[in-house]
Amino acid sequence: MWLLQVAVTLPKPAVREPVNGFLGVDQGVANLAVTRDGAVVPGPALPGPIHGNGHVRSLRERRHRQRRRLQKKGTPSARRVLRRLSGGEHRMMADVNHQISKHVVREAERTGRGVALEDLRGIRGRVRAHRLQRRTLHGWAFAQLIAFTRYKAARAGVAFLLVDPAFTSQACPDCGCVSKANRPARGRFVCTGCGLAGHADHIAACNVAVRGVAGWAVVNQPHATGLPSARRDRESKPPASTGGS
């Protein structure tokens, strides 16, 4: 068997201005990703054998039960099967995250928007989950989806931004009301201020999109203080001459 490894350097395009705002994406365990446009992925929008979020969870649960049964058995044949199965779940989730990130970046590129995701770094240390839910939470690949989306957006010249995830599913994107009472059920959102109702994950994606627009304006705000800056002084100086007199 012959293996060929080829290194390819792709040009990095300039990031285009998100003239039509941001495509917000809410990440979760019940729904892996829900976009501002209301698309739930994985789902019919993605090709392949994965038919939805419930299918992913059932596959992971089946793999977990199979590993536990083989580990309890402890025979040489069981260990051989464990070695053969090792990495299978990781490869499946990597493939799902690749498909999700590709779909999100393509949709943002097609509509002239940027991509905004929640900054979920350290989420496992902040969230208190029930004992029966900890394995599901700690095994979810939030950081991988963020990394895949980031590099795909950079390759396509699409603006990418991470926003604060606090209260995205409890805040109303229309009136700004933030309350726990806005979430009468896990998947339902009803604003106690203006009455806006919808799926909680979709409302969270709308809030992520709004925060993406605000965050992009802050990041690209021109420096207008007029105060001296060592960095600006260095950048304004012409390059030193290397030729002789």
Tell me the pLDDT tens digit for each residue of 45-77. Answer: 555 555 556 566 666 677 777 778 888 888 888
The pLDDT assigned to 151 comes to: 92
Q: Counting runs of H as helices and runs of E as strands, what totals does the chain give? A: 8, 7
The pLDDT assigned to 233 comes to: 55
Segment 67-91 shows an average pLDDT of 80
For residues 218-232, b (16+ Cβ closer than 10 Å) or e, as one string? eeeeeeeeeeeeeee
Q: What is the pLDDT of residues 183-226, one digit of tens each?
A: 888 888 999 888 889 888 899 999 999 999 999 988 776 654 44
Among the listed residues 16, 49, 50, 21, the one whose alpha carbon sits nearest the alpha carbon of residue 33: 50
Q: What burial class does residue 150 get, using C-beta atoms within 10 Å of its C-beta: 0-12 exposed, 13-18 middle, 19+ buried?
A: middle
